Amino acid sequence: MSSGQESVFSEYESDTSQTSKLLRKFKETPFVPIGMAGFAAVVGYGLYRLKHRGDMKMSLHLIHMRVAAQGFVVGAITCGVLYSMFREYVVKPKE
């Protein structure tokens, strides 16, 4: 193993708790947990509305729920990419 690989592994092994690893990851990419929470919220709301869907067919309700959840996740990913680009190219001082 080269010395570069050892330093990368030791960095990850220094955080022993899963919570600290998770918090560090969320700080690096803040839109991932937002996308996951939005997905869970859309699915939860869809399951709640499943009881009161009225005349709507089950398949149509599930398609709408899937499209809404995917839309939220794609929107969060897009915002994350734009945020990363903004941080890297606009905020970062030019060398």
In this structure, the chain runs to a length of 95
Residues 44 and 63 grouped into a single domain = no
**Structure token digits, residue 29:** 């990419």
Contact residues for 32 (Cβ-Cβ < 8 A; gap 6+): 25, 26, 76, 80
Q: Stretch 39-65: mean pLDDT, rounded? A: 86
Q: What is the pLDDT of residue 14?
A: 59
Residues 47 and 8 grouped into a single domain = yes
**DSSP reduced 3-state for 58:** helix
Q: What is the pLDDT of residue 94?
A: 62
CA 70 – CA 41 distance, rounded (Å): 12
pLDDT at 39 over 80: yes
Is the pTM higher than 0.85? The answer reads no
Residue 30 is classified by DSSP as: T
Q: What is the pLDDT of residue 67?
A: 92
Domain that includes residue 24, residue range = 1-53
Residues 60 and 34 grouped into a single domain = no
Residues 44 and 64 grouped into a single domain = no
Residues 87 and 45 grouped into a single domain = no
pLDDT at 69 over 80: yes
